[in-house]
Amino acid sequence: MSITLFTPEHSAVLLIDHQIGTMSWARSAAFEDIKLRALSLARGAIALGMPLVLTSSLEDQAQGPMLDEFAEIAPEAYASRVQRKGAVNAMNEPGFADAVKATGRRNLIIAGVTNDVCTVFPALTALAQGYNVQVVADAGASITKDADTVALRRMERAGADITSTNQVLAELADDWASPGGQAVLPVMFDLIPA
């Protein structure tokens, strides 16, 4: 089996439904941990000049607004986020599917809340469409640990690589002495538990 590592030049980051309400429903990981990791992925994408696509669902309802910090970290991606009106599978929302296609990248790094609803279906759809997918498990969560485990197994069986925030950022950096590595290093240090 041939494994190709993801590079900034060939990859895009998709962050799905990192919203205040939705994140508060997740019980398989702590809210602050999910938040730190999702924001770190956004920071890493910006530092490496990668496309970053954000989407949310029903921000005016129980799901609530996206994390405000995205507006500071990635103002353009935040302003152009795809606000879905109800599509569970973000890839079924034409605006999101078009934004993903417009990146021109075939390698997708996906994180979402919840993994068992918001992440699993777009990941499966992207795989079916021929994209290479890495799902960043620790930048998302589910309502139960069992639900999280089942969703991650399903995505992995379908061909997604399951990864962590730390792992994917290190993969993208490739060399700490390079400009990209130097740009990502502060993000990595912020991920180290105090």
Please count the other Cβ atoms lying within 10 Å of the Cβ belonging to residue 112: 27
**Given the residues 14, 66, 90, 118, the one annotated as active site:** 118
Does residue 113 carry a catalytic annotation?
A: no
Q: What is the spatial distance between Cα 106 and Cα 39, in angstroms, rounded to a whole number?
A: 22
Q: What is the dihedral of CA 94, 5, 149, 84, to 10 degrees?
A: -20
Q: What are the residue numbers of the active site?
A: 118
